[in-house]
Structure 1
Amino acid sequence: MDRSGFSQSPLRNLPCDADGVPVREGTRTTAGLALPQTGLMSDHVVRVDGLRKTYRGGFEALRGVSFDIGRGETFALLGPNGAGKSTVIEILEGYRDRTSGEAEVLGVDPHRGGLAWKARLGIVLQNTGEAPTATVRELLAHFASFYPRSRDVEETIAAVGLTEKAKVSVRKLSGGQRRRVDVALGIIGRPELLFLDEPTTGFDPEVRRQFWDLIRDLQRDGTSILLTTHYLDEAAELAERAAILVGGQVASVGPIDELGGPDARVPLVRWREGGEVREQRTQDPGGVVAALHARLGEPDRLEVVRPSLEDVYLSFLGDEARRTTAAGGVA
């Protein structure tokens, strides 16, 4: 069983059998359920404010996490293992209760979200269990029947680049192709919000790039996406905004190119002079370079380094390690 109480499936939205295929509840399907009415359409699909989660034994997994995700936005949740990312996602998906704080997904408290609410979500897990014996087309057609406004099956298969594999058993596909099936299952119901958990883990560079193209297509369609990934280049490529989670707290949140604040993105001018490497951080690297040329002619090993997302991310991890060490913990 997966953590929603349903059998393991690329989606947690619907009750499934042991093979990960949705099952009907009597003669009723989610297609017969009215979608929840939440009043005026909000500009945000996710709102989290002061979210806390304390497990038995007193371990604080989340310590006041706050962020929001705009409608149609791709938002990346970044952080090392153990930072609390999975706990946040589980709470937003309606699986895990929070200790305190507020959470709202598509205008609904996820703890109270029912099947109609879940039908508005798409969830692609990092690990999806054993592949079913059904063909790609059969599996997608079966899932599509459970949604009130599903995508066309053939169009969805084409969107994930599996047209030539439509009649092949999912069990016979390669790992990368199965991942594409996972994504197809995640988008077949035209979700308003798509959760992508480490979607390209194990992909080779070419397949990763192809997957990025698919995500861009979803973005153009207006799908809101919550992405968790350890690949910072992936986050920088796909997300408009991100939150860096460290030690159960949000270390920084905002547009990708502004994470860490202005001080974290100050360029560094580095050169060699008098046998020593010298550095200067400055908001005007062009001016510093011009001054060096005027004074030294052609400075040895001159370079301008602009901090990347990875540099900012690692600086927060380093700060946390230093705080942990100072507190007598394990860095």
Structure 2
Amino acid sequence: MATENPSALIADDLRKSYGGGRGKPPVHAVDGLSFTAETGTVFGLLGPNGAGKSTTIKILSTLTRADSGRAFVAGIDVAKHPGRVRRSIGFVAQKSVADPMDTGAENLVLAGRLQGLSARDARARATELLDRFALTEHATRQVKTYSGGMSRKLDVAIGLMHRPAVLFLDEPTTGLDPEARAELWSEIERMTAFENMTVLLTTHYLEEADRLAKRLAIVDRGTVVTAGTPEELKNDLRGDAVIVELTSDGDPFAALEALRRVDALSEVGGDGRTLRARADSGAATLPHALAALDAAGVAVASATVARPSLDDVYLRHTGRTLTKAQETAQDAALENAS
């Protein structure tokens, strides 16, 4: 039976662990993760690789079962009615599902037929989506000849063929160049306006989450550390960010000590040669910060003042920047693969 809750997506204390292997302890991929997403909106899960975003999508899309907790998609209990959930969702995975030897049009028609559309309806829907994603002139080309951006647009179109109530986009722009990424963002924005569906977007790109998500949850080590609209999360960090980049011979430890002695600065921290702090008035405080560093004999390469960003939000709640967390995750993945 469908839940009466109007939320399109509900994750309630989800947990999922995998065996560590080779004598290693279990990996807690999802560790008490909870969020809700409103119908007809884009909800973002923001975090580095390994934070639990993809595992969460796999649970919600019935590709794996949670060890505990509850999940509802389009009002349907995922554990009790997985078949009904599958008929209600579209899924765009990190890797393309299109057959590279078939044309774009053939891939779309096949997807529609697999979802139960008649041949006529599948062709009509394929034509509609090819036009929407600016792929009409490439419809009869084999997908293996498509650029990365064109392939990702086709993947999204495939996920939309049967007009799902909920669309999962798992890291949809990973590997794309900035121009192709921006183009796909525009297509996703237009798509949500046309389709009036709920979209769950996972990403490790700050700008992507800020631009596309009406609400988002920041995920770290398998749990949600904070959630809200991008503006709410940024506005919760009062004041300005003061960012100082040291020269190659600058001493980060001496710099941190110097900045901590500046009364107008708070939340002073560092990541290598990049130091960050907060101030009620960054422009007025920056000269005092630079004077303190000069007095400590620390050479500065650059210094900037900026309004709060989602990276500042991530830093506040996790103790490290998202960029640093992503680098750490990539290093760990390489080590595990070796």
TM over 0.5: yes
Q: Structure 1: 5+ residue runs without aligned partners?
A: 1-36, 293-300, 322-329
Counterparts in 2 of 1:117 and 1:102: CA distance versus 1, 3 Å: closer
Question: What is the RMSD computed on CA atoms of the aligned residues?
Answer: 3.2
After superposition, give the CA deviation of every residue in 1:123-147 in whole Å (9 maximum; x if it has no partner).
1111126734221112212222334
Partners of 1:235 and 1:248 lie apart in 2 by: 18
Q: Is 1:67 aligned to residue 27 of structure 2?
A: no
- Cross-structure match for 1:314: 315
Is the 8 Å Cα contact of residues 62 and 85 (structure 2) preserved in structure 1? no
Q: Report SS of the residue matched to 1:259.
A: helix
Q: Distance in 2 between matches of 1:132 and 1:270?
A: 46
Q: Gapped runs of 5+ residues in structure 2? A: 20-24, 245-257, 267-277, 288-301, 323-331, 333-338
Distance 1:304 1:173, change over 3 A: closer
Structure 2: how far apart are the matches of 1:193 and 1:116? 12
Question: Paired residue for 1:131?
Answer: 99
- Distance in 1 (CA, whole Å) between partners of 2:243 and 2:153 is 44
The reply on whether 1:50 has 2:24 as its aligned counterpart is: no
1:157 alignment counterpart: 130
Determine which of 82, 100, 104 is the counterpart of 2:72: 104
Deviation at 1:94, TM superposition (A): 0.6
Counterpart secondary structure, 1:50:
strand
Structure 2 counterpart of 1:16: none
Residue 71 of structure 1, CA deviation: 0.3
Amino acid at match of 1:55: Y
Tell me the amino acid that sits aligned with residue 160 of structure 1. Answer: F
Paired residue type of 1:152: R
Match of 1:233 in 2: 207
Q: CA deviation at 1:265?
A: 4.2
2-side partners of 1:320 and 1:232: how far apart? 11
Identical pairs, percent: 38
2:157 alignment partner, SS class: helix
Paired letter, 1:68: T
What does residue 185 of structure 2 align with?
Answer: 212
> Structure 2 vs 1, CA of residues 118 and 244 (structure 1 numbering), >3 Å: closer, same or farther?
same
Q: CA deviation at 1:98?
A: 1.0
Higher mean C-alpha deviation, range 139-148 or range 158-167:
139-148
2:309 maps to amino acid? S
Structure ranking higher in helix proportion: 2
Q: Which residue of 1 aligns with 2:141?
A: 168
- CA deviation map 1:130-185 (0-9, x unaligned): 73422111221222233458672211001111111011111222222211211110
Paired amino acid for 2:170: D
Q: Is the 8 A contact 2:234 2:310 kept in 1?
A: no
- Please give the alpha-carbon distance, in whole angstroms, between the structure 2 residues aligned to 1:174 and 1:212: 16
- 1:171 aligned counterpart, secondary structure: helix
1:302 to partner: Cα distance: 9.8
CA deviation map 1:74-126 (0-9, x unaligned): 11111122211121111101111111111111111223334443122111111
Matches within 5 A, 1:109-128: 109-128=77-96
Q: Is the 8 A contact 2:2 2:77 kept in 1?
A: no
Aligned to 1:255: 229
**2:327 corresponds to which residue?**
none
**What is the CA distance between 1:64 and its match in structure 2?**
1.2
Using the TM superposition, give the Cα deviation of residue 65 of structure 1 relative to its aligned residue in structure 2, in angstroms: 0.9
Specify the code of the residue in structure 2 equivalent to 1:38.
A
- Using a 3 Å threshold, how does the CA distance of structure 1 residues 205 and 302 change in structure 2: closer, same or farther? closer
**What does 1:242-321 align with in structure 2 at a 5 Å threshold?**
242-259=216-233, 262=236, 264-268=237-241, 279-280=264-265, 285=281, 289=284, 304-318=305-319
